[in-house]
Structure 1
């Protein structure tokens, strides 16, 4: 029985390896539906070097939102060449006092500061917060699915770049999920222990009340 299990496990591993190296790349064909493993591949004969280059991080950013940030994504929907490669990126720009509110991804994330000074941190499932003031060149890792955040604590705007180990890591902002969606106010009140007045204030802030 153990011998058969070993054979099956070895065969499964070989199958997974063969699938991984069956093609050199799989630039997403976004005209077709996305499946659990990503998009279908575009015909490689139609690709050019431009399909493997992303220029969306160029230039300066205008910051107008309430949190004081501007987030530029390079996920598979913005950069189809990432399809199937298990990696993505984003550029984070902070105004003075700007924040990236508490959020999570289905992946891990690594951050490097390129301008300014920020406090970055995450909170684990024991409710322990790990946070540090980061300067230019500093790097911090946020483990998979952990709630994490960034705050500009310098006297100037700040910029950081992140990389995530998934082509479509998703972003779930905690406050948006509680107050910016279709969750009824009475349930939000019960599960957050906030007063009805505070819940309604938050829902109004997110335009759902």
Structure 2
């Protein structure tokens, strides 16, 4: 096999290295809340899922294909995320790990967000990304940012706000890995300006030092 700077299989090998830390992370609470319902007569509820009888498990429960296929980035921010979580790879349940492929259009981005239950690392397969995270108030809200090219990776600590954006002239591809089977996702703009029902705009106006009309305009967008 000819040598390449970073093959698709090398990427998957690097992602697998997160497994030891994944074991150390879960089991934490894997959902924001859990409303009790009547359980199936023959079901066992473990880490947010009912478990199949292990005698009925097959190799397909632990198999996912197609991560090498490009996706069209058509959402509002120019990205397309292909998750590989326990919802679409049942064998991941209780293993404390999850993956995703991210396709970026030119100027596409994953906006500032946080994963409340997982650290994340991102590795670039194609293109050039600008990625960074911001430390907590206690640490002075410092920005840690790097420009990443093919073969580069960056780690986002658990719970900290982070982002990544395509700053190159062509589409980009990256792979991410999480040390939780359900890392959670809180997108800052959607949460603050798109809550249901909306946060009182006077509260947000004082918090962001903006006038009430600007806050209401932002709420209308999100």
Asked if these proteins are the same fold (TM beyond 0.5), I'd say yes
Q: 1:96 aligns with which of 83, 97, 106?
A: 106
Structure 1 residue 134 corresponds to structure 2 residue 148 = yes
Q: Structure 1 residue 193: deviation in Å? A: 2.4
CA contact (8 A) 1:104 1:146 kept: yes
Matching of residues 51-200 of structure 1 within 5 Å:
51-55=61-65, 57-105=67-115, 106-125=117-136, 126-182=140-196, 183-184=198-199, 185-200=201-216
Q: Over aligned residues, Cα RMSD in angstroms?
A: 2.2
Runs of at least 5 residues in structure 1 that lack an aligned partner in the other structure: 1-19, 21-30
In structure 2, relative to structure 1, the CA distance for the partners of 1:203 and 1:114 (3 Å cut) is same
> Which blocks of at least 5 consecutive residues in structure 2 are unaligned?
1-26, 28-38
Q: Secondary structure at the match of 1:40?
A: strand
Q: Which has the higher contact order (CA 8 A, sep 6+)?
A: 2
- 1:103 touches 1:174 (CA, 8 Å); kept in 2? yes
Shift, 1:203, TM fit: 1.6
Give me the whole-angstrom Cα distance separating, in 1, the residues matched to 2:97 and 2:48.
12
Between Structure 1 and Structure 2, whose CA radius of gyration is higher? 1
Query: How many residues matched?
Result: 177
